């Protein structure tokens, strides 16, 4: 529980829900007849609606990007370091919107939602969605909120992919795109990790083909999936610094298969904690969204052509120790934007924390986002 709410926090926030009755045609060709989008907003939309910023969340994130939902919350939203009054995404100037993606489990329609056709949870009958579908759904919410054009769309990791997709599909509906620790597509290694995570879930005896709602859920599988994910989010050096080969609570080796090392204890804890807040089916869907993302695919692998219609400006940020989406991947994005003569700034921030760095308060990274947003605000007269 926060004993008090810091001054630079957006404070207590209440989530909102938008219901859509207009069917959404998905990239797969399937239709989502109706759906809900859960979102949060911070700051105030100005009179000419020119100060709206969309924040896109990553794989295990949600719409709760900043502030507290209740005084009982142990921690603020996942990007609270970045979003708030006086922070780099300054809510004194910008109106920030964060939407839970379709297929997730935090309020927007997903596999745990009731399928209107059957009256039962969708489970694996929920259609596979893509980044393009997400952006299409976000554009509808944008209309609902009366926003003509985002001053910026900002995201890290899978969120950065959404920000990029915006400039491909709706370039005239945003000014700037901030893609942080993103990639233009997943590597074979990335997909391999996702597949192991999915197999962990799907081979759990409690999985029951995704129809586990109302019963025991595939806890072990999901926890294992999260443990695998966590290894890829941290760098080797971050793990060494954080845990080394420290034994748990200074205990001697057990000469058994219980937890000996701190790193084991940490991973098990992360796995357990995740199971309580995330739906295993959603994890399957969202990892597939990642695997499928490849805007260059329809242009014979030529990423530059994917951005041919874009007229946006870009800030691309990568982190030196991120091996999940390495700086090299951000350079590929930058090269494609440069090839289109687009206004792009790229920087690789020195940071030992691995992929997770995008969530952390790292001074040069936050200073860079602040400088970029300040410049946008200045040019837009905000």
Would residue 244 be called left, alpha or beta, if left means φ above 0 and alpha means ψ between -120 and 50 degrees?
left
Q: How far is the CB of 334 from other proteins (least distance, A)?
A: 6
Candidate list 8, 294, 302, 374; residue touching other proteins; CB under 8 A: 374
Whether residue 322 lies in the annotated active site: yes
Q: Which stretch binds other proteins (CB under 8 A): 152-160, 219-227, 228-236, 327-335?
A: 327-335
CA dihedral 62, 67, 69, 74 (to 10 degrees): 90
Q: How far is the CB of 378 from other proteins (least distance, A)?
A: 8
User: CB under 8 A: which stretch of 124-132, 181-189, 290-298, 341-349 binds other proteins?
Assistant: 341-349
Nearer to other proteins, 33 or 379 (CB): 379
Question: Closest Cα to residue 36, out of 132, 137, 119?
Answer: 137
Residues 6 or more apart whose Cβ sits within 8 Å of residue 85? 7, 8, 9, 10, 91, 92
335 binds other proteins (CB under 8 A): yes
Residue 315 binds to other proteins (criterion: CB under 8 A): yes
Question: Residue 130's closest CA among 186, 175, 171?
Answer: 186
- Report how far apart, in Å, the C-alpha atoms of 115 and of each of 24, 81, 277, 318, 336 are: 15, 37, 21, 39, 41
Out of 322, 326, 330, 356, pick the active-site residue: 322
Q: Which is nearer to other proteins, 236 or 328 (CB)?
A: 328
Among 71, 343, 360, 361, binds other proteins (CB under 8 A): 343
* Residue of the chain from 345, 352, 377, 382 that contacts other proteins (CB under 8 A): 345
| SS3 labels along 64-94 | CCCCECCCCCCCCCCCCCCEECCCCEECCCC
375 binds other proteins (CB under 8 A): yes
Question: Within positions 18 to 37, which residues make up the interface with other proteins, using CB under 8 A?
Answer: none
Min dist. Cβ of residue 50 to other proteins (A): 18
Q: What's the rounded Cα separation, in Å, for the pair 181 and 314?
A: 13
Under the rule (CB under 8 A), what is the footprint of other proteins? 313, 315, 331, 334-335, 338-339, 341, 343-350, 364, 367-368, 371-372, 374-375, 379
């Amino acid at each position: 529980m926060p004993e008090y709410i810091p001054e630079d926090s957006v404070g207590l926030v209440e989530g909102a829900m938008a219901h859509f009755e207009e069917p959404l045609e998905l990239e797969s060709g399937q239709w989502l007849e109706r759906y809900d989008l859960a979102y949060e907003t911070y700051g105030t939309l100005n009179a000419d609606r020119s100060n709206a910023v969309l924040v896109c969340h990553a794989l295990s994130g949600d719409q709760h990007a900043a502030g507290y939902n209740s005084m009982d919350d142990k921690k603020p939203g996942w990007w609270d370091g970045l979003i708030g009054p006086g922070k780099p995404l300054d809510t004194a100037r910008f109106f920030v919107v964060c939407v839970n993606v379709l297929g997730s489990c935090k309020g927007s329609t997903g596999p745990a939602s009731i399928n209107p056709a059957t009256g039962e949870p969708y489970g694996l009958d929920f259609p596979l969605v893509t980044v393009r579908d997400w952006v299409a759904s976000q554009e509808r919410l944008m209309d609902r909120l009366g926003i003509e054009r985002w001053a910026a769309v900002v995201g890290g990791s899978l969120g950065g992919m959404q920000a990029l997709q915006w400039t491909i599909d709706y370039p005239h509906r945003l000014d700037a795109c901030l893609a942080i620790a993103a990639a233009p597509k997943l590597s074979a290694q990335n997909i391999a990790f996702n597949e192991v995570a999915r197999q962990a879930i799907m081979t759990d005896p409690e999985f029951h083909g995704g129809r586990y709602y109302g019963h025991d859920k595939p806890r072990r599988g999901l926890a294992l999936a999260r443990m695998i994910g966590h290894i890829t989010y941290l760098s080797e050096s971050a793990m060494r610094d954080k845990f080394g080969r420290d034994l748990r609570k200074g205990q001697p080796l057990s000469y058994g298969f219980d937890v000996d090392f701190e790193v084991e204890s940490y991973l098990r804890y992360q796995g357990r904690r995740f199971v309580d807040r995330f739906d295993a089916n959603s994890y399957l869907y969202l990892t597939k969204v990642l695997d499928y993302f490849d805007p260059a695919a329809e242009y014979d692998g030529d990423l530059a052509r994917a951005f041919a219609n874009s007229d946006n400006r870009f800030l691309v940020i990568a982190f030196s120790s991120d091996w999940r989406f390495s700086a090299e991947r951000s350079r590929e994005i930058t090269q494609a934007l440069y090839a289109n003569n687009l206004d792009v700034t790229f920087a690789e921030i020195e940071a030992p924390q691995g992929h997770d760095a995008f969530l952390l308060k790292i001074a040069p990274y936050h200073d860079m986002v602040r400088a970029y947003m300040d410049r946008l605000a200045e040019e837009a007269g905000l």
